[in-house]
């Protein structure tokens, strides 16, 4: 988080099933100056609009500019040493292999989620439920805005 505070930029590289072991490795607290990507065996790739690199092997990465960092405290008001970082996406990298009919094939990417303890989950099935009264898909607005950049 220190680098985000200093540079006001960051990259969110999607954690996938194929990258699961590296994801766990990058969760280790390294001393300043240690390249966590290198320590986890990951190759970096240059971004177009921000200085920090993205994970080359990740099929999807979001280039972001910092909006706000929220420092979390416990019920007694003491610092929990935990933070939530909010950013605005200004660039997107998506591996073309995962675009189907103009949309991201989430199940094919197999993103993972942390469940607690040493447990993780993988998305391998996606389903849609249309909403009544929705005149258009929300993603069409996002997709249109992204293409204009």
Predicted confidence (pLDDT) per residue in 5-19, tens digit:
999 999 999 999 999
> Which pTM value belongs to this model?
0.82
| pLDDT (average), residues 46-70 | 97
Number of residues assigned to the chain = 149
71 has a pLDDT exceeding 50: yes
Domain count, the chain: 1
- CATH number of the domain where residue 86 is located: 2.30.110.10
Q: Are 52 and 10 in contact (CB under 8 A)?
A: yes
Q: Are 48 and 91 in contact (CB under 8 A)?
A: yes
What mean pLDDT is predicted for residues 32-47?
94
> 68 phi and psi, to 5 degrees?
-165, 145
- Domain coverage including residue 119: 2-148
d(CA 145, CA 149): 7
- 90 CB-contact burial (10 Å; exposed 0-12 / middle 13-18 / buried 19+): middle
d(CA 5, CA 35): 17
Structure confidence at residue 132 (pLDDT): 85
Res. 147: pLDDT tops 60: no
Whether residue 142 has pLDDT greater than 70:
no
């Amino acid at each position: 988080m220190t680098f985000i505070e200093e540079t006001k930029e960051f990259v969110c590289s999607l954690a996938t099933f194929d990258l699961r072991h590296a994801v766990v490795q990058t969760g280790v607290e390294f001393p300043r100056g240690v390249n966590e990507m290198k320590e986890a065996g990951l190759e970096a790739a240059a971004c177009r609009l921000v200085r920090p690199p993205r994970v080359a092997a990740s099929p999807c990465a979001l280039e972001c500019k910092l909006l706000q960092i929220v420092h979390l405290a416990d019920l007694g008001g003491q610092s929990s040493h935990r933070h939530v970082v909010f950013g605005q996406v200004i660039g997107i990298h998506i591996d073309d292999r995962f675009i189907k009919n103009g949309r991201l094939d989430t199940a094919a990417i197999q993103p993972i989620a942390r469940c607690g303890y040493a447990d993780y989950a993988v998305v391998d099935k996606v389903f849609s439920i249309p909403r009544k009264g929705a005149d258009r898909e929300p993603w069409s607005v996002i997709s249109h805005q992204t293409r204009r950049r």
